């Protein structure tokens, strides 16, 4: 609404009139006595207020529609990059996740959503279409493919994956396998502890100290910023540290991943080949086995699986074909 619109001028005039400071002219030295509002004046005011409310509701609807459309486009890019196994598109979707879902919308699946579901305090549908799209997409893709949300959509996970691409490999410290296998259970303990704490009447604000997603709103206190700085510093050395060992949401999605329908395929040669296991940055491959609860469908091993110049399965096939051709 602009300040020069007729409705504003009418409303201003009525307001001035009510306050007894109606515009005066030089021909009228004495100000007029304020008059009580007539029923017609009140009806006109009511109509103006109703029009303003309708205008605000329309603006909100338009904003929600833009949010849903933008989120839908982002999901389409993420799924397309996943289906195509295209690394450049994956990086584009990670950057968008940090910039758009992180810093612009601060929209991440959080342990608060689990608390909300437990307490029945999730947003109303009319106020939260984009929210339900995010939750629905996360649950549906987890059942279909696994933790795709973690691998492409979550702004914090995207940030640590992008960090991983720029931090020199020589700084990396890889926990030994025996330790890694035990540390992954920490996140389930965090999830269980948080749920029990809230079920026992604890304050849901505990989320600020067990997950760093608030960082995208840039609104933490000194303790929170200090903990975040320590976490990001540790992530420089141990990649995806928070996601692998501490994230309650990751734990919840990991549990759900046990229902995954379309799993990563394996060759017979995977029984002895360690190439994919060494490539996986999430500690999600144990010998021939993919640990579905740890896998975030990052594609790294799947690109190897299809790589005819590197994967032993294809190399063996090529050698056999060459031998057959030589007779």
Q: Binding marks (x or -) toward ligand SF4, 213..252, rule CB under 6 A?
A: -----------------------------xx---x-xx--
Q: Tell me the closest approach of the beta carbon of residue 147 to ligand SF4, in angstroms.
A: 6
Q: Which stretch binds ligand SF4 (CB under 6 A): 21-29, 196-204, 226-234, 278-286?
A: 278-286
CA distance 282 to 1: 52
What are 147's two structure tokens?
């933790």
Which candidate, 285, 313, 318, 312, places its Cα nearest to that of 300? 285
Contact, 237 vs 172, CB < 8 A?
yes
What are 252's two structure tokens?
């919840």
Q: Tell me the Ramachandran region of residue 15: left when phi exceeds 0, alpha when psi lies from -120 to 50, beta otherwise.
A: alpha
Which residue number is nearest to ligand SF4 in terms of Cβ? 157
Q: Binding marks (x or -) toward ligand SF4, 121..160, rule CB under 6 A?
A: -----------------------------x---x-xx---
CA distance 72 to 295: 24
Q: Rule CB under 6 A: say whether 298 interacts with ligand SF4.
A: yes
Q: Tell me the closest approach of the beta carbon of residue 292 to ligand SF4, in angstroms.
A: 9
Q: Tell me the closest approach of the beta carbon of residue 151 to ligand SF4, in angstroms.
A: 7
Number of neighbours of residue 35 by Cβ within 10 angstroms:
11
User: Cβ closer to ligand SF4: 130 or 213?
Assistant: 213
Contact, 11 vs 45, CB < 8 A?
yes
The residues binding ligand SF4 (CB under 6 A) are 150, 154, 156-157, 242-243, 247, 249-250, 267, 269-270, 273, 275-276, 279-280, 282, 284-285, 290, 295-302, 304-305, 311-313
């Amino acid at each position: 609404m602009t300040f020069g619109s007729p409705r504003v001028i009418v409303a201003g005039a009525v307001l001035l009139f009510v306050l007894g400071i109606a515009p005066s002219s030089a021909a009228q030295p004495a100000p007029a006595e304020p008059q009580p509002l007539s029923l017609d004046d009140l009806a006109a005011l009511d109509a103006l207020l109703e029009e303003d409310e309708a205008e605000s509701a329309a603006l909100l609807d338009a904003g929600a529609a833009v949010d849903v459309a933008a989120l839908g486009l982002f999901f389409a890019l993420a799924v397309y990059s996943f289906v195509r196994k295209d690394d450049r598109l994956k990086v584009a979707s990670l950057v968008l996740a940090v910039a758009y879902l992180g810093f612009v919308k601060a929209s991440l699946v959080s342990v608060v959503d689990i608390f909300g579901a437990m307490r029945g305090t999730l947003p109303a549908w009319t106020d939260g279409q984009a929210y339900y799209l995010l939750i629905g997409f996360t649950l549906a893709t987890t059942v279909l493919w696994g933790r795709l949300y973690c691998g492409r959509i979550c702004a914090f996970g995207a940030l640590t994956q992008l960090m991983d691409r720029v931090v020199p490999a020589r700084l990396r410290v890889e926990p030994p396998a025996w330790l890694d296998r035990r540390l992954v259970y920490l996140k389930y303990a965090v999830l269980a502890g948080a749920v029990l704490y809230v079920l026992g009447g604890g304050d849901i604000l505990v989320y600020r100290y067990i997950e760093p997603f608030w960082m995208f709103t840039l609104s933490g206190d000194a303790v929170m910023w200090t903990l975040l700085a320590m976490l990001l510093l540790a992530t420089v050395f141990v990649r995806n540290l928070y996601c692998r060992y501490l994230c309650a949401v990751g734990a919840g999605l990991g549990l759900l991943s046990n229902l995954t329908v379309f799993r990563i395929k394996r060759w017979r040669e995977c029984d002895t080949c360690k190439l994919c296991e060494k490539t996986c940055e999430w500690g999600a491959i144990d010998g021939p086995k993919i640990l579905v609860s740890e896998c975030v469908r990052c594609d790294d091993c799947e690109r190897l699986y299809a790589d005819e110049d590197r994967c032993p399965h294809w190399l063996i096939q090529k050698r056999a074909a060459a031998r057959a051709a030589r007779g």
